Structure 1
Amino acid sequence: MTIQVVAGLVVFLGAYVLIATEKLPRATVALTGGALMVLLGATDEAGIFFSEEAGIDWHVIFLLLGMMMIVGILRQSGAFEYLAIWAAKRARGRPFVVMAMLIVITAMLSAALDNVTTVLLVAPVTLLIADRLGVPPVPFLITQVMASNIGGAATLIGDPPNIIVASRANLTFLDFLEHLTPLVIGLMIVFIGLAWLLFGRRLHHDAERAAKVMALNEREAIKDTRLLITSVAVIALVLAGFALQGVTHLDPAVVALLGAGLLALLTRLEARKVVADVEWETLLFFAGLFVMVGGLVNLGVIDQLGKAATDAVGTNYAGAGVALLVGSALVSGIIDNIPYVATMAPLVADLVHAGGAAAEPLWWALTMGADLGGNATAVGASANVVVLGIARRYGHPISFWEFTKYGLLVTGVTVALSVPYLLIRYF
């Protein structure tokens, strides 16, 4: 092992530790790590910007950018506030029924949009409803972020790791619907039951406060009806574009950018409003991360690990699938699942290339494990970190261990149920 390879591994692992411990902003860490890879000679400008194997994955960057723009425009219509108030009123102010409905709504939105954006929009409204009901908001926030991670596993755009896997494996929007949505539906039913066992019996109905919730007028939450109708129509077109990828041959990133451009054109909003909700820090984090992983690819580290994994697996792809699912869940609970999947995707690609069709289910094992494992700890997924930040800002801090004690149970149950699904369906 050369000094250059050792130095590259030190940079990469050091960045991982800083990202996991949140000692520094993760975008800063990722960009600094990428810069150090350039200084080490592990990559260069051609590799960063133009290499499909070792450069920035522009499909991921621009898909996220397009969807963030679309959701940011939709948010300005008040649609998400309307949905939360509507759910509370349909539940007639009964706390657990409200929780269950918000779980379902969050999961569905996370599947259609992405989990980070969903929790950013829904969590503040959840705090409002919990306050009106006179119940502690922490259980609602914890179950909501877990629902977003489970629901986000259902589609290509639902969770950032899915976008990375889809780009690397050339999987379509319909592939995710076919392979993961049935599992997610079953897991959501189980999760609602777990939410009742963990929190339901502690949530008490207050008739007086429930009456106040019933007095809220959800229509008042809609700030711009025309904007709402236009946004929903464009989102429907974008989702149709994802579903028809096999016919149109348009990459999801292109569809998302076309949708964002069309929506901006139709609504004629100021440019600053169109991009106001874009998470630039997240996009920069991805860019830096791809550069670091690309550096390891160029240094041959990923190739060597892939060969070692191929030799260890042999033709036992069922065992490899279970190990990958469970192992991904464990690691994603410790480290944010985005950098984990970005690192593992090239390794799985090597295994699939060596094993052909028999090894293709490994992509689904990686996706299941990373998405579900994100629930294990407070830093397991980006959505977790976002919700904890919102809770702290509104005066309801959630500690690392308070989240984790529930997250470990939920992750254990959902991963245990996913193992037989993987084996029965694919092996």
Structure 2
Amino acid sequence: MNDWQSWAAVVVFASTYALIISEKLHRTAAALGGAALMLVIGATDDKAAFYSEHSGVDWNVIFLLLGMMMIVGVLKKTGMFEYLAIWSVKRARAKPFRVMTWLVVITAVASALLDNVTTVLLIAPVTLLVCERLALPVAPFLIAEVLASNIGGMATLVGDPPNIIIASRAGLTFNDFLVHLAPLSAVLILVLIALCRWLFRKSFVYDEERAAEVMSLEEREAIHDPRLLVQGLVVLVLVVAGFVLHPVLHYEPSVVALLGAGLLIAVSSVRTSDVLADVEWPTLAFFAGLFVMIGGLIETGVIGQVATKLADTIGDNEIGGSMLLLGSSAVLSGIVDNIPYVATMAPVTSDVVEAMGGSGNHVMWWALAIGADLGGNATAIGASANVVVLGIAERNRTPISFWQFTKYGLVVTAVTSALSAVYVWLRYFVAAQ
């Protein structure tokens, strides 16, 4: 970094990150302020910020969130989430740790089939109601679900946005992810459940009176608009099918979500203004600001230089390189959000793989995917799902601070990344000999 703009971009990003961490300024205000400064110093411009696929706002993420938030807003009006809350509590016999285990497993499986952002948008309202019914603290349950969504999303091509970027660049298929990453994801979910038992042990307070009240409820009575529920579920199924069939239909998830939201509003009797009122606008604005800031680091070459130095360090050492790539990806994804990180590292990884003669087992790509997906758990802004849940919690007057999330996320990321490194070593180097 030899020019003043590169250093200025680093200062702006670091200062904004410090403000987000300190929470002296709301994260949305900090991100938008940082984005504005990136534009003022010329680290990026309007074309790069708003139109560049490489260094601009990722509109696919923004509109995926918008579409799914609108669909969730309609489903809220049907009583479906109350139904699911009562149902899940009954299945777990109203025992707090069992409830968390149920929600973690459901979140992980759903994140693999859909994507982690969509999943947390659907699961979070259920969790809020469960915790309210059982008089439990909300934060541990929401944090556990976010961690599960990022681990579960690692299992498939559509589960986490970075996987889609990697699959496109490396020519990997849906089945490739299932074969190589789904087994690891399943093991790590079991590890997460064990960690949750320890990390959140003080939160599992059983209230016998509250539990008895919930167990006596009839979940079907929670549905107060059956017609709207049917309409919403039909659209949701179509949207999920669109996500799963992405490799065949070639419609981006954002397009599918917007089409689904538009269809649901058109066929139902809900007012558009009511649906839009449920959208987490501050969360969308935060993402826009964050993308512009990271775009400034990309445009000035800061991230490119870091990626190049990492590639030079790896060289043609496949085993050492895969471990370094996994570990560094876990660290960097927690800082700059795993979507722009992977978008930047994908071409660098491609060059490294080519220098190694093609690396037929794709170990470098799996190392990048594992590190980026798990690293998203490290901090409150490491992955899209994290930011979405923090926004939902704040909107429901149960805010989760940056450090409240991060102190648990760092532990889970360290443990799961270390176990994943062992998995990569055993599967691609020991078993291959």
Partner of 2:345: 347
Write the mapping of 1:45-84 to structure 2, written as runs, cut at 5 A. Answer: 45-84=46-85
How much has 1:236 moved relative to structure 2? 1.9
Distance 1:256 1:143, change over 3 A: closer
Partner of 2:370: 368
Partner of 1:130: 134
Indicate the SS of the match to 2:359: helix
Partner of 1:259: 260
Amino acid aligned to 1:368: I
Distance 1:327 1:155, change over 3 A: same
Q: Which runs of 5+ in 2 are unaligned?
A: none
Asked whether the equivalents of residues 283 and 387 of structure 2 are also in contact (C-alpha less than 8 Å), the reply is no
Distance 1:258 1:214, change over 3 A: same
Task: Note if 1:421 corresponds to 2:389.
Answer: no
Structure-2 separation of matches of 1:397 and 1:26: 12
Partner of 2:414: 412
Amino acid aligned to 2:348: D
How much has 1:331 moved relative to structure 2? 4.7
Structure-1 separation of matches of 2:287 and 2:171: 19
Deviates more, 1:380-389 or 1:19-28: 380-389
Asked whether the equivalents of residues 353 and 364 of structure 2 are also in contact (C-alpha less than 8 Å), the reply is no
Partner of 1:20: 21
| CA RMSD across the alignment | 3.7
Asked whether the equivalents of residues 246 and 252 of structure 2 are also in contact (C-alpha less than 8 Å), the reply is yes
Distance 1:200 1:343, change over 3 A: closer
Distance 1:254 1:168, change over 3 A: farther
Amino acid aligned to 2:265: A
Write the mapping of 1:19-418 to structure 2, written as runs, cut at 5 A. Answer: 19-111=20-112, 112=114, 114=117, 116-118=120-122, 120-131=124-135, 140-155=141-156, 158=159, 177=178, 179-197=180-198, 203=204, 209-331=210-332, 335=335, 338=337, 341-343=339-341, 345-356=343-354, 357-358=358-359, 361-376=363-378, 406-418=408-420
Aligned identity (percent) is 55
Structure-2 separation of matches of 1:171 and 1:79: 37
Asked whether the equivalents of residues 173 and 245 of structure 1 are also in contact (C-alpha less than 8 Å), the reply is no
1:64-89 deviation line (CA, Å, top 9, x unaligned): 22222222222222222211210111
How much has 1:185 moved relative to structure 2? 2.0
Indicate the SS of the match to 2:277: coil
How much has 1:110 moved relative to structure 2? 4.2
How much has 1:156 moved relative to structure 2? 5.7
Asked whether the equivalents of residues 28 and 286 of structure 2 are also in contact (C-alpha less than 8 Å), the reply is yes
Q: Which runs of 5+ in 1 are unaligned?
A: none
Indicate the SS of the match to 1:223: coil
How much has 1:230 moved relative to structure 2? 2.0
Distance 1:401 1:6, change over 3 A: closer
Asked whether the equivalents of residues 134 and 207 of structure 2 are also in contact (C-alpha less than 8 Å), the reply is no
